Each structure stands twice: as structure tokens, then as C-alpha cells.
Structure 1
Amino acid sequence: MATARRWTLRAEHTNYTVRLSPDGPWAELEAWGPTGVEDGPSALDWSRRTHFITPADAAPAEYLPYGLRPFTGSELIAGRPGDQRGVWWEFDGAEEGEEGSLRLAFTDHVLGLRTVLCYEVVPGTDVILRWTELTATRGELRLERLDSAAVNIPVTGAARLTCLTGQWSQEFQRTQLDLPRGTFTMGSTQGVPGHAYAPWLAMQDGADGTAAGGGPAYGIALEWSGNWHITAEAEPGGLVRVRAGRVPHEGAVLLAPGETLTTPRLACAFSPDGLDGLSRVWHRYERRLSGERLHRPRKVLYNSWEATGFDVDAAGQLELAKAAADIGAELFVVDDGWFTGRTDDTGGLGDWYPDPAAFPQGFGRFVDDIRGLGLDFGLWVEPEAISPGSRLYAEHPEWTYRIEDRPARLVRNQLLLDLGRTDVQDFVIGTLDRLLTAYDISYLKWDMNRPPTERGRAGTPPDARLDLDAEHVAGYLRVLDHLRATHPDVTVEGCAGGGARIEHATVARTDVVWPSDNTAPLDRLAIQYGFLHAHAPHVMSSWVTDAPGIFDPRPRSLAFRFVNAMCGVLGIGADLRAWSPDERAEAAGWIARYKDVRETIHQGDVHLLGTPGDPTYGVQYDDPRAGRTVVAALGTGRLDGAPLLPGRPDRLRLCGLDPEARYHDAGSDRTYSGAHLLHHGLPFTWSEGHDAELVVLRRR
């Protein structure tokens, strides 16, 4: 809805109001928050007194170029090649769509640049998508910065920022910091979002006492599979302004006359219910990204990697498959090591043919034998990688990233294919089509284990207009789109050395993602806690394994490992041949319980109950239509047999229940009032032999 030069976008419970600034030719945020927030004076308005800065530098602008905003950070830096930089534009009209979309156009006639700020409400959610379209209307342009959007947050004190940080095997660590003044930035130039930071940020007003995650929360997430940045600036006028976008590998992008560049989409979310409520906004959005595939059950898988490593042969894999089928697994995935030349990580990548020595009766017979056990069959691939000793490299060395007259650096004993080339894309598509057509494969795990280093293209003239990062992303997405269209019944798992490439472009084109290579119980608990802040449980693949802790080696029971893994999409990666009959029987029981509740886990409303640093931590899943609540409760503290509180059990307060309703736990045959569960919580007494429970409550 527009009033003069003011527009309001209406999401499910959120309004977002933009106006044309009275101070200059730019759009600025007037209000963002719960429905009706725009009725009243804007909390982002300012005194108009500026000293040593311009009005554009002080404004809560939605997007401004260097030129108009010279001092406090701009979203766009553009100019003609070899000429001075700077954009000075004029407002060129607004276009409103019927279903919550808005386009605001600005034109610099001297430079020859048309900039369109794009907005779109995602139906049924509190997410608004923002992106920018940049068109060269006259000559060639050089874009040194091309962010997707700027997001303004009014604060009365230091801004509380929550981000997800880490490293390989320690991804998605929830990290919080206060930003009273200055700049915080994070990102990646590794060709993927990376292990160090997720392209996701939550913002709150620190004056609201948000240490525990309460208070209204604003969030952004960048939909981009390549290089990126998110930068938050606490500005002198009491505003936090966050800019986000892709980062060109070459330092700039050249835009040809008449060409339009569309930036990645930035998803912007709001919840009045703090970080916990914001997580549910993101979960609902990712369910929309999954579409109808959300309702396909994520099958319990067994993956053989941690049991066998590269030592893959038909007999050993079938032995594991029989054990997996006996405990109730529904899918068997052969990981790395199944193809010719892959006895270790020094060879084989690129030559994607089953090793005849490992499968003497043929790979097709092996797949049929797996399926004869009642299991679906899946396969690991790393389509972007190539081994220097492979036949593919001998035939096409020019397909790898390389800089002429410079050595090619090996990472993990491999090189990386230039997936921005259409011939490389066609090779990958042809390879995957061949495998999926020749064999009865219903699951594909796509891995990527090294960043691009010497990022050049063979045979390219020095004056070529390259945008290698964007071209690789486009090639990656083209292949995933092909898999979706041509093999719609194949489940695709996204992985990049664990969680290095998890963002909304990947989530929209895969069925599950692999958050981390670290499967140890308490380490994984912290990873999943952070992951669920940003991503939905139906995309979170999690395994039960024998792995000891890397960062937290305290032992935990088999029950703990199962309940923890059941918080997402359950998998098993342990060496079942070494498990006792009692352990296998216990596992079968947990798998049966998981199958009974997985629909609630994958599609229910999620509440994170405490943190992994608490002695009792839990995840609650609610399905109001079925009247069912599932609680995964985990004891994370000392397990020495002593009660956590002398003489009393520990308690886990639940959220979001009807205080006047009654809830029955068939496992303990207890009935609780909603008020009791909200105020006192579920009781748990942990001990060395009892450190996890799965509680299923039925509303009566």
C-alpha cells in the first residue's frame, strides 16, 4: 500500500514501510516491526543536524551509492573504466505489484546507470526479500561494490549482534557481541560461504536486555553460494546499518552497455519473540523453499564412511547394509572410495566409474543386492574436484582453475574444476545423468572439499571481462536445477567439507545439508544448536557414530547420540559390525521411535530450550493440529549419579503450550497441566547411565 511517496509491505505479522526521503533522492526505512508499527512517528527519524557528514550519511537509507553517501559506507561504488567513481542519481518512479512486491527506480543520466531496488514479501512468512538490479544504459561500467541491500535497525543502546562462527568441524557456533560504535564485518573469499562464518546475522537492541535471546529480533540471510560479506556499522546517530552482498573475486565487475546485473537476494526477517521466535521465522521460510518436497519423509540413512573410509568393497558394504537394515535404516549410502583410482585421497576424482576390483560382480549387481535388503541406495560424489593423476585431467587440464605460468597448488591433494565453464557444467551433468540412469540410485551426496586458490581461466586474454565467482555459482546452481528437473525422485544432500556451503540458494535446491564433519555427541550438540537458529530441522542431516569428541571429549550414551541426531534428519555412521546385540536392539528401538515422530520434528514449531552450556538442554517440537509435542531432552553436565540440585531433579521449562490444556506423557503415564509445564517444566534426573530422553506429549 502506498501513500504519496510512502509504501508499506505487509508480511504475515510484520509491516515494512519505506518512504522517499525528504532530504534527497533516496529511499529510507520508516518502520519495520509488528503489524501497525508504522502508525506513529518513525523511530528512525533524526534531527537533521549534521557536522562533517552529509544528510545522506546520516539517513536510514535503503541503498545509496558512493557519491551521494561519501563517508559512512555505501552499497554501490560504480564508474566508467579509467574514470572517476561516483553515482548521483534521481528518483525515476515506483512500481507496486499485487502480491506484496515493490520496485523503486533511480537513474544517473550522466553516468548511464539505472538502479532498481526490489522488494518481495514471501507469502505466509515474516520474510521480505530484497535485491538490486543494475543496468548500464550508455557505456561500459565498472562496479567495485554491488551490495544487495542495506538494513537499518533502531537501537537505544549498544546493538546486540548474534552470528554463527567457527571453523572446519566446529561450524555454527552461536556467537554474540555488543556493538556500541564502529564496524563489525564477516564474510568469505573462499568461493563458498565457508566454515568461519555463516551468511546470517541477527540484531537486537542491547538496551532490551537481550542476553538470553529475548526482545524483538531482526535477521538477515544472504542467498549466495560464493564470496560474500555482511558488515554492521553502529553509526553516530544511534542507528545500526547492515550492508550485505557478494564480493567479486576480481575486485570489480564490468557491466556492458545494455546489460543488467541482478544481485543475490537478501532475506530480511523479524520476530517480536527474540532469537527463538526468529528461528521459527527462518524455519517456516525454508519449508516454503522446500515446497512439496517438504512432505516427502527424510529416510533414515546409513552412511559407511566412518566405518570403512576408503576401504570400500562389495562384501564389506553388504555386511554393513544388512546390519543397517536389521535396525530399521531405510537408505544405504556409499561414501568416498567407490570409484576407480580412489584408494586414498590422492587419486580418482574426475573419473567417476565404479572400481571393478571393489565390485567384482558389477556395480549394478551390488546396488540390486542393497535394494534386495529393502534399502534405498545412495552415492557420494564430489563433482567440482579433480585429481592431477586422473584420466580427466590428462584429457582436459584447461578445465581446472589456473593462472598461466604459475604453479597449481594442491589442497587435499586435488584441484578444482572451473564450473563457470559451460563445457565443465555439461561434463558434470553428463556424469551425474549417466550414474543416475545406469544404476538405481535414489540419493546423492554432493561434497566439495577445497576452496579455489589460483583462480584464473586457461586461455583467457588479459582484457577478458571475467566474473569467476559468479560464474561458478551459476554453474553450480545450473547443475542442481538440472538434477531437480531431470531426476525429481533423487534426494540431494548438500555438503562442502561439512557446513561450508549452506545458504538459501543451496537449501532451495537440495533436500538436506550436512552441517559438519564432526559427529561427536557434545561437539555436534553445539553445532546443531547454532544451526537451528538459522535453518530448519528438516534440512539438518545428523548421524549417530562412534566418534569421540574433538572439542568436548566427555563420553555420552548411545541414547544421547540418538536423541541428539533425531533433532534433525536421522542417520547412522557407526561401524555396526562392532556393536553388541544389545546396542543394535537399542538402536532399533530409537529408530522406530524416530519414525513415529519425524513428521512433527520436521514440520512442527521449534523452541530451543536453554543452551548446550546448561546442565539440561532441550529442543521442543509442536504440531498444534495433531495436538502433539515432542521434547528431545539432553543432560550435558556431570554424570556422576548425584542429582543436579540436592534432592530434586532438574527441570526443562517448555514454551508455547496452552496453560489451560492438559498434556499426557504415555512413556511415564503422567499428565501435566500446560501451566505446570510452562512454569515448572518437565523433570529429569540424569545419571551415568541415563543422559537423554525423548518425551512425547499428547494434548487432551
Structure 2
Amino acid sequence: MGFSVTCDGQQYHLEDLKFVEQKECHEKTFILRSFTYESQHFRVEYFKKLYTGSGVQELWNTVKNISKEILRIDRVDSINEWIQTASELTCFKSGWGNEYQPFKTIINEEVILENRLGRSSASVHPFVFLNTESSVRMVTVAWSGNWVLRFQPSTKGVHLSGGLSDWEFYKELFPEEDMESVRILTIESDCHDMNEMAVRFNRWAREFWIPANKELDNPLVEWNHWWTYEDSEINENIFKENAAIAQSLGIDVCTLDAGWFGPPDGHSEWFDWRGDWDKVNTDRFSSGIKALSDEVHERNMKFGFWCEIEGLGKKAAIGSRREDFIAKRDGEPLGYICFGNVEAQDWALLVLDRLIIDYQCDWLKLDFNLDPHAGCSRTDHGHGAGDGLFEHYLGYYRVLDMIRKKHPYVILENCSSGGLRTDLGIMKHNHVNFLSDPDYLLHQLQVFWASSLLLPPSACLHFVWSQSKPNMNGDYAFPPLRLNECTEKEIAFHMRTAMIHRLGLSHPLPEWKERVRQEVKKNIKFYKEKVFPFVQNGDLYRLNEQCNRDENDNKISYGGFQYVLSDEDRSLVFYFSIDEQQEEIKLKCKGLNSMSEYIVTDMDSGHSIIRSGEQLLQKGMTVSKHGKSESSVFMIQAIKNF
């Protein structure tokens, strides 16, 4: 392994530099090795952190100017190495409503995976799988802006390099100044099994990476108004009416999404007024936001609140009041506030602190709805013309950390046009990640199948297929699900597709028939009592291939997911019949003890059978024929623990 640095137009690898020293630090949970190299002008300290027992390595470096001149750093690769036998590459392309679209290729010519839109997963997700003759390896860039991974084949194998994208990037380092590269994380498995590797990676992320929040030890179910009452459709009476029903259903969090702020105009559009977080739309919320929060708390629920703290609407007064906050490129506004400016960071901290305190927020949904591309090029923000986006994200991370430190009970939800900024860089500073704006069935299953390779399910939030509202043309962002028209089995099916991670809903609760409310209430109770312990601490296995939104391409007729609590020798299997099944299905289980005897219980019928671990692993579990949009949940428990 190694690194590379391009300084003043010349690229340097570690073999081009003078080796100075090596250090090693052994802690209980990791081993950290650092290697120091020097040129005449700069010093590089290269770090390799191995997390004990996980197989996960974290790679990064720092570059320090040791000369008396200003140096221009054009490229800093956190990884630079040869892979002798790499052959096939798997990654996931992205876009709004098109997240986690699989892409595979043989590396027989140069392959460059790169994001240039300014949000980490706006065009391609920042993780990749490499298949070799002996193993499969995952490499992920823990960064929220532009990144790159280059794969260049030759007679020596495949050369892998990357980290921070060098497109439109450069940083001027003054004497004694340094910069830290973005982090790369890798894990490898010699059994060519994505499931096995994802299990180890998820365990590592839960333990070492994603911040803990004691509130999330509870099976919180969220209701969010957005898809039914977008923007101008929401008001305080509608929110209160939904909150009352949410309480009766066993929902724990009521979140006020966009539409609460701006001038007292019932028809104002949220996008135009982002940044004026001191303005409450009193036409819609005449009693103020605190009154809503108080009512939610009086009902013994948590109050969730949406804010796009980075966003800057074209009508927002903050843009004219603090012109020095505006991110610009070549003099043109980019539509966001540049957190490369320390004063903008201070402003954001004050705003978020005030919102949390004044409105007694328990849950903060932080969104970002634009592509900053190469980012800000102003030179009066404290950053240079070439590193504005780089410094913006470092500033945003600092803001998140300060908010978590000051308000440790508040749950931070990461969102960016749904899932367009999903990466381990931002998830080192947030608690929960919203997977995608659309949540219709095939999209929902496709997205979770892949996102949970990177993120543990306990950090994933998505909604039950929402009842979206039409736009002015009568079109829908995605087709709505009307639960009033669903059978009992169909309601259970759709609830369960959102139970396999953190559970949320965005439906018009007052419109539901009484029978629908009772079914949803029953399913929420089932999630809290039976499912959540597996989502929180279990190992997830995918029991079939990834579903595909394009039903004509690689059509999958069912979905199978299995959670395992290995310490308890217990498992929970979800089976989703997407289309009517013509025959029985065999689901080969994972993660069980081949020497144990298990009781397998259908959680709907209560019917149980006994099977050996070896039978379940080798021959599989028989699932009877199901109709379209029907599901089953099976509890598998070792007899010795029954």
C-alpha cells in the first residue's frame, strides 16, 4: 500500500521520497502505524489503522509544507497500490430516484469511478468491490464531496489509486501549514462472499464509526409529513391532527419537514427561502413552532424538525445581509452557504442551537438539495480558489460535531435529496441516514439491499411506501400507495418492507380507515417487540440477488433478508413475494450453527417445525406459494435456547 502527492505539478510516490521514521501504536481496539517521508519541500505522514478483529483498514496521510515558499498541492491520493490479480469490479451508479443501480465490468482497460457533482453519491456511490482469484475486497472513500478511484490494468496487475478528486482541486499550503487527505476504508474476504464481508463491516461501523445515541437504543418509529403534505399543504392543524393519530398507533417521532419557514404566505415555496431560519410562516403556523413541539411532547412523543442549514434560497434575506457567506464560483452564486468561511460555521451553530433549544427538538433532519459541483472559488472565506468544496465539508463536519457535543440527546438524520450524499465521511458525524426520497416497492428493496453493504441497518431509515401527492400537472414523483385500498396481507407486506431497517411513514393518517389503523398499529407493535432487536444488533444476510427497478431487466420475483443474533443463536427471516409465486421457494439460510437444532416458527400462523442447522444452511427452508404483495416472517431459534 502507499500514497501519492502532486506538488507544484510533479507527482511523488513514497519511493520518490526520503524515508524518515516509522511509528507503531497498539491499543485494545486497533493498531496504528505511521510512516514519515520527506522531500526538500514537504513532509508526508502516511497512516494505516487496522481495527482489531474486524479486518477493516483505514488509510490516510497528511502533507506538511516544510519549505519557506507557498506550495501548490494539486492531488493527494490516500491509496496507491498494485493489485496483482484483480479482474472484476462491481459498483453502484446513482441519481435522484436511481440510487444503487448495479454496474459490473471486467478491468481490461482503465476504469475511473469519479463523482464531480459535489455530493458523494450523486452520480456513483463511493464504494466498490474488487474480485480477484483469491478474494473479494471492498474499498470505500469516506468523503462527502468529490472523490475518485482509478483502476489501471497492466502486465503487473491493476494499479489502484484515489481518494479526494483532483478535478478542479488545488490547495495552497503556506510554510508550516498542513492538510489531511480524505480517509479510505478497505476490507477483504477470501470466501468471495459479499454477505460475510458486509457482516464484518457493519459490526465495525456500529462499534467504531457511526456515533452512538442512547435514544436510538429504543425502537423509534417516525412519522414525517412530507410526501402527503409537501410544502404548502402542511399547516399546524394538519400536523396536530396527524400527531394525535400517530400517538394512538404507537409512533414515537413526529417530524415537521420543509414548509414551516418563510414569509406569512400560504403559497410561498420552501426552496426560495432556505437560509431564513428565523422566519416562521405564520400563515400556516399561526401559533408558532413551539406550540407544535409542546403538543407532540404532551403526547409523549419526540419532535422531529427539518432544516437545510447549508442551503441558500434566492429570496432569503440572509443572502443580502451576509453576502460574505455566499458560495460563489467565478463570481456566480452556487445556491449554498460556504462553510469554508469560519464565520458561516459560527452562524450555523448559533442557528441550529437556537432551533433545538427554542423548539425543543429531539430529532434534526439535515438536508442538502443541490449539486455544488467544484464548489466555492472565493478567496475571502479563509480558503483558496481551488479548495472551497474541500474546506466546506470539513467545516460542515465541525458543525455537526459541535451540535452533537452540545446536544447529545438530539438524533441527527443525514439526508440530501434523499440518498445523494451517503458516505462514511458524513456518517462519522450523523446517527441515521435517509436512504432515498422515493420509497415504492422495487426501489425500496433495491436500495436497502445495496446500501446495507456500506451502512448497518440500524443507521438506515426509509419509509413505508408513501402516499405521495400529485404536482400541478397531475404527475407523481413516484406512484402513491393508498393503504385504504390494501388488504390485511398487503398492509403487512408494505409495513414489513420498511421494518428491515429503522421504520418511518409519510402517509395522511387521518384519511386511514379504522381497519387500516388497527393493522398498522399491530405491525408497529410487532416491529418494536420482535424485529427491532435484530435491526439494532443483528447481522444481515441477503438471501437472493438485488431487486431491480426495471422489471424487464434482471427481474426478481421475491426478496429474502435474514437477521442473525449469533450470540443468542436466533434468527429472523423476511420473505417478500413481489409477484405471485408459481411454486415453492427454497431459502438457504446464513449465519446459523450447523450443529444446532432449530425451531422454525411462521410468525403469522404460529406453525412450527424443527430443522437442523445443517439442513437450513445446505438445503434451505421451504416457503410455500405466496400471492403478489404477500410476505412471511420466520423466527428461527436454537432449541437449547428456546
Letter in 1 for 2:71: L
* 2:37 pairs with one of 88, 106, 125: 106
1:445 is paired with a residue whose SS is strand
Partner of 2:551: none
* Of 587-596 and 295-304, the range deviating more from structure 2: 295-304
CA contact (8 A) 1:248 1:469 kept: no
Partner of 1:297: 218
Deviations 1:505-535 (A, max 9, x none): 2112111101111111111111111111221
Partner of 2:388: 468
Pairing of 1:521-536 with structure 2 (within 5 A): 521-536=441-456
CA contact (8 A) 1:249 1:469 kept: no
> Aligned residue pairs: how many?
599
Question: Using the alignment, how far apart are the partners of 1:430 and 1:662 within structure 2?
Answer: 58
Instruction: State the TM-score, normalizing by the size of structure 2.
Output: 0.88
Deviations 1:365-417 (A, max 9, x none): 2211112222111001000111121221231233212246x5546xxxxx211
Shift of the 546–130 alpha-carbon distance from structure 1 to 2, 3 Å rule, reads closer
Partner of 1:285: 204
Shift of the 488–416 alpha-carbon distance from structure 1 to 2, 3 Å rule, reads same
Pairing of 1:437-586 with structure 2 (within 5 A): 437-452=357-372, 455-456=375-376, 460=380, 467-547=387-467, 557-586=490-519
* 1:331 pairs with one of 237, 253, 264: 253
* Of 345-354 and 141-150, the range deviating more from structure 2: 345-354
Partner of 1:223: 142
CA contact (8 A) 2:273 2:313 kept: yes
Shift of 1:326: 1.7
Partner of 1:394: 320
Partner of 2:229: 308
Deviations 1:246-277 (A, max 9, x none): 12564322222222221111111112342111
Question: Using the alignment, how far apart are the partners of 1:363 and 1:682 within structure 2?
Answer: 51
CA contact (8 A) 1:377 1:442 kept: yes
- Give 5+ residue unaligned stretches, structure 2: 469-475, 548-554
Partner of 1:276: 195
* 2:123 pairs with one of 196, 200, 220: 196
Deviations 1:138-183 (A, max 9, x none): 132222211111244331xx6121112121111122322221x221
2:66 pairs with 1:137: yes
Shift of 1:543: 0.6
Letter in 2 for 1:579: W
Deviations 1:276-334 (A, max 9, x none): 11211220121021354376225110011012111221110111112222221111001
Letter in 2 for 1:202: F
Shift of the 90–309 alpha-carbon distance from structure 1 to 2, 3 Å rule, reads same
Shift of the 317–93 alpha-carbon distance from structure 1 to 2, 3 Å rule, reads same
2:281 pairs with 1:347: no
* 2:534 pairs with one of 584, 595, 600: 600
Shift of the 367–659 alpha-carbon distance from structure 1 to 2, 3 Å rule, reads same
Question: Using the alignment, how far apart are the partners of 1:120 and 1:454 within structure 2?
Answer: 30
2:164 pairs with 1:233: no
* 2:176 pairs with one of 235, 258, 262: 258
CA contact (8 A) 2:305 2:365 kept: yes
Shift of 1:453: 5.4
Question: Using the alignment, how far apart are the partners of 2:195 and 2:382 within structure 1?
Answer: 51
Partner of 2:615: 676
Partner of 1:17: none
Shift of 1:460: 3.8
Letter in 2 for 1:599: P
1:660 is paired with a residue whose SS is coil
Partner of 1:122: 51
Question: Using the alignment, how far apart are the partners of 2:174 and 2:383 within structure 1?
Answer: 14
CA contact (8 A) 1:271 1:281 kept: no
CA contact (8 A) 2:219 2:528 kept: no
* Of 353-362 and 304-313, the range deviating more from structure 2: 353-362
Letter in 2 for 1:628: R
Partner of 2:582: 644
Deviations 1:84-113 (A, max 9, x none): 66673222222222231211222223xx22
Partner of 1:655: 590
Shift of the 250–153 alpha-carbon distance from structure 1 to 2, 3 Å rule, reads closer
Shift of 1:361: 2.6
Shift of the 630–147 alpha-carbon distance from structure 1 to 2, 3 Å rule, reads same
Shift of the 253–166 alpha-carbon distance from structure 1 to 2, 3 Å rule, reads same
Deviations 1:26-75 (A, max 9, x none): xxxxxxxxxxxxxxxxxxxxxxxxxxxxxxxxxxxx236xxxxxxxxxx3
1:337 is paired with a residue whose SS is coil
Indicate the RMSD between aligned Cα atoms, in angstroms.
2.6
Shift of the 363–552 alpha-carbon distance from structure 1 to 2, 3 Å rule, reads closer
**Structure (1 or 2) with the larger CA radius of gyration:** 1
Letter in 2 for 1:176: K
Letter in 2 for 1:652: L
Deviations 1:600-648 (A, max 9, x none): 1221111111122433321111112233211111112x32xxx423xxx
CA contact (8 A) 2:93 2:123 kept: yes
Shift of 1:686: 4.2
Partner of 2:114: 187
Question: Using the alignment, how far apart are the partners of 1:323 and 1:440 within structure 2?
Answer: 21
CA contact (8 A) 1:286 1:508 kept: no
Shift of 1:552: 9.6
Shift of 1:349: 1.1
CA contact (8 A) 2:326 2:333 kept: no
1:320 is paired with a residue whose SS is helix
1:394 is paired with a residue whose SS is helix
Instruction: State the TM-score, normalizing by the size of structure 1.
Output: 0.81
Question: Using the alignment, how far apart are the partners of 2:271 and 2:188 within structure 1?
Answer: 47
Question: Using the alignment, how far apart are the partners of 1:507 and 1:298 within structure 2?
Answer: 20
2:3 pairs with 1:78: no
Question: Using the alignment, how far apart are the partners of 1:275 and 1:283 within structure 2?
Answer: 12
Letter in 2 for 1:113: F
Shift of the 470–331 alpha-carbon distance from structure 1 to 2, 3 Å rule, reads same
Question: Using the alignment, how far apart are the partners of 2:382 and 2:244 within structure 1?
Answer: 57
CA contact (8 A) 1:408 1:454 kept: no
Letter in 2 for 1:183: E
Question: Using the alignment, how far apart are the partners of 2:598 and 2:283 within structure 1?
Answer: 58
CA contact (8 A) 1:159 1:234 kept: no
CA contact (8 A) 2:327 2:337 kept: yes
CA contact (8 A) 2:213 2:409 kept: no
